[in-house]
Amino acid sequence: MPLYEHVFISRQDLSNAQAESLVEHFSTVLADNGGKVIESEYWGVKTMAYKINKNRKGHYAFLRTDAPSSAVQEMERLMRLHDDVMRILTIKVDAHEEGPSVQMQKRDDRGERGERGDRGERRERR
């Protein structure tokens, strides 16, 4: 079966328990349609870049799944109909990465950023 990664944002006025129950709800939808959730992560409340439906923040959740496309389509359909879900993103991947996602890793564990080459350098004016 194809492998997918899903991220969805739910409304900020939900409690943590309600947001995590949404993850469980959509996991059961996948399971009922022949798929399975390999891993799920609750990323917590994060500030968004712009307002969505008058919300500045949202509960972020991440799912790694192994499911047929019909199960994913049904889950996405139910997510779009659900009042508490504001945005969804589904990506088909070749393989799931091992360990926690980048959002859940500590900043020290992510590795060093590459130099951009333009920091700290000033050009001489002539």
Q: Which domains does the chain have, with CATH numbers?
A: 3-95 (3.30.70.60)
Do 3 and 78 meet the contact criterion of CB atoms below 8 Å apart? no
Q: What average pLDDT does this structure show over 3-18?
A: 91
Highest mean pLDDT among 29-33, 92-96, 119-123: 29-33
pLDDT at 80: 93
Give the separation between CA 18 and CA 43, rounded to whole angstroms: 14
Beta bridge partners of 10: 59, 85
